[in-house]
Structure 1
Amino acid sequence: MSTLERLAATIESRKGADPKSSWTAKLLARGPKKAAEKFGEEAVEAIIEAARGDRERLTSEAADVLYHFLVMLASRDVALADVYAELERREGTSGIEEKARR
């Protein structure tokens, strides 16, 4: 199991937990809209660090983005395995072709 899969499993295990018990439980208790907003905030912070060129800060912000992405997925009952399956479905397909199908 990868680090990302373990993190997704931990996030899933926090669903329904007391919001006072963990940051993840608190985020999930606030609902999908708040989870999406928090993901967006973290994505913007990563963009800023990418533009600045600070590799260490970008790495840290990228970790925050991945965590909040997984929280957002969990808040809408989308499993990481489903995202992996979609990526596998797209594998070997030109990005141009894939976008044309949409």
Structure 2
Amino acid sequence: MSAFTLHDLEAIIASRAAASAETSYTKKLLDKGAAHCAKKMGEEAIEVVLAGAGETRDRVVAEAADLLYHLLVLLKARDISISEVEALLKSRTAQSGLDEKASRKDA
């Protein structure tokens, strides 16, 4: 059995985006637009931070899963694939993290 990947989750999100909002939480989120999806992702990010700072390991894992799901929903809302994000991450590994961060325009 192969491992479950973010690409698998991305495909599930795409499938559910085509479903009815009456049966799909993903569709409900997407129907509310990218700004709503971003807000939801931000809420999940805060929950990961709080869990990471002092809750159980299982709670951190659960909140991280929620965050990854909501990140992929936001990417779907903005028509961005996980492959695009991976490509950027790959390009960043060509140099040290400190050099890459210093080279950013907004650094």
Look up the match of 1:65: 67
Whether 2:107 is the aligned partner of 1:90: answer no
CA–CA distance in 2 between the matches of 1:98 and 1:18? 43
Q: Which residues of structure 2 form unaligned runs of 5+?
A: none
CA–CA distance in 2 between the matches of 1:75 and 1:12? 10
CA–CA distance in 1 between the matches of 2:22 and 2:100? 43
Deviation of the 1:17 alpha carbon: 3.0
Q: Which runs of structure 1 show a deviation greater than 3 angstroms over 4 or more consecutive aligned residues?
A: none
Look up the match of 2:45: 43
Deviation of the 1:65 alpha carbon: 0.4
- The sequence identity of aligned pairs, in percent, is 45
CA–CA distance in 2 between the matches of 1:13 and 1:77? 14
After alignment, is 14-23 or 76-85 more displaced?
14-23
Letter in 1 for 2:29: L
Match 2:34 to one of 16, 20, 32: 32
CA–CA distance in 2 between the matches of 1:21 and 1:69? 21
Deviation of the 1:16 alpha carbon: 4.3
RMSD: 1.4
Q: Between Structure 1 and Structure 2, how many residues are aligned? A: 102
TM-score (ref. length: structure 1): 0.92
Deviation of the 1:21 alpha carbon: 1.8
Deviations 1:6-50 (A, max 9, x none): 110111223343211211111111110000000000010010010
Q: Which residues of structure 1 form unaligned runs of 5+?
A: none
Deviation of the 1:77 alpha carbon: 0.3
